[in-house]
Homo-oligomer: A and B are copies of this chain.
Amino acid sequence: MKQETKPGQRSSFAFDVSRCLVCGARNLNMCGSLEKDELESLTKIVRCETFGAGEALFREGDSSAWVFNVTDGAIRLSNMLGNGKRQVVGFLFPGDFLGFTGADEYKVTAEAVRGAKVCRFARSELTRLRHQLPQLEHRLFEMAESDLVAAQEHITILGQKSATEKMVAFLLMLSRKSAARGGVDNPVHLPMTREDIADFLGLAFETVSRCLTKLEDQKLITIESTRVIRLNDFAALEDYCEEA
């Protein structure tokens, strides 16, 4: 396993299939659709990379020639507006695929939230493999569809919910996502800042802070530390963001 240094001091290395077989994200991401011998074709075109807090994998306008599998940490997808406002359109976690865009250029910026590990592929190579491996094609299609459904839920949260409801929906979403990738559903760990959350929910960061305080006052959550929130009553929280 040779190791190199790429622009930006980022470690980047190729590896063999044995590494994929023990990858914690394998059953979550597109690789899970492949058998060992098929995985080898993927292994040949991938490099593993690490990004530090805030580092960009790509920015709005960059060529979409590279795509990624997230294997560790969290990635923030965002849009910047002319007036300096920022909308976070999604957070990606281990198992998520990063690279859907119908165009030659990315329309969003992807940055590591705190620190993240990813597998990097050339889109052209992956496209070639998709033609050879129908399982892979199918799995990627499913993942794109599921991203679309997630975006529609995000739209609904942004359009119809109050600040506190948004906050509750966000906490429940993180809890579900953590459980889905084999982690605990409680307490919820927040790798991102209050400002990231605010920009995801269309709020001011002060409002995020106030909503968390209010929910703790109501005993619905416990703020164990700035980045660890315990959900004290799932049923009540579900009701809170669905009905009110």
Residues of A within 8 A of B (CB): 77, 79, 81-83, 85-87, 89-90, 100-103, 107-108, 131, 134, 137, 140-149, 151-156, 158-160, 199-202, 242-244
Q: How many copies does the complex hold?
A: 2
Inter-chain contacts of A153 with B (CB < 8 A): 79, 107
Q: Which of A79, A137, A156 has the most CB of B within 10 A?
A: A156
Inter-chain contacts of A145 with B (CB < 8 A): 100-102, 144
Inter-chain contacts of A86 with B (CB < 8 A): 160
Chain B min CB distance to A195 (Å): 13
- Residue in contact with A87 in the complex, picked from B81, B85, B156, CB distance below 8 Å: B156
The complex places the Cα of A148 from the Cα of B173 at a distance, in Å, of 19
Q: Which of A142, A143, A158, A243 has the most CB of B within 10 A?
A: A158
The complex places the Cα of A111 from the Cα of B202 at a distance, in Å, of 28
In the complex, which residue of chain B has the Cβ closest to the Cβ of A242? Answer: B82
Chain B min CB distance to A29 (Å): 14
Chain B min CB distance to A98 (Å): 12
The complex places the Cα of A102 from the Cα of B153 at a distance, in Å, of 13
Q: Is the CB of B102 within 8 A of A149?
A: yes
Q: Is the CB of B154 within 8 A of A155?
A: yes
List 15 A-B residue pairs with CB atoms under 8 Å apart, sorted by A's residue number: A83-B244, A87-B156, A87-B159, A87-B160, A89-B152, A100-B148, A101-B149, A102-B149, A140-B141, A141-B141, A141-B144, A151-B155, A158-B158, A158-B202, A159-B202
- Residue in contact with A102 in the complex, picked from B81, B83, B146, B243, CB distance below 8 Å: B146
Chain B min CB distance to A107 (Å): 6
Q: A146-B102, A149-B102 are in contact. Are A87 and B134 (CB under 8 A)?
A: no
In the complex, which residue of chain B has the Cβ closest to the Cβ of A158? Answer: B158
The complex places the Cα of A145 from the Cα of B127 at a distance, in Å, of 14
Q: Is the CB of A199 within 8 A of B148?
A: no
Q: Which of A140, A159, A199 has the most CB of B within 10 A?
A: A159
Inter-chain contacts of A134 with B (CB < 8 A): 131
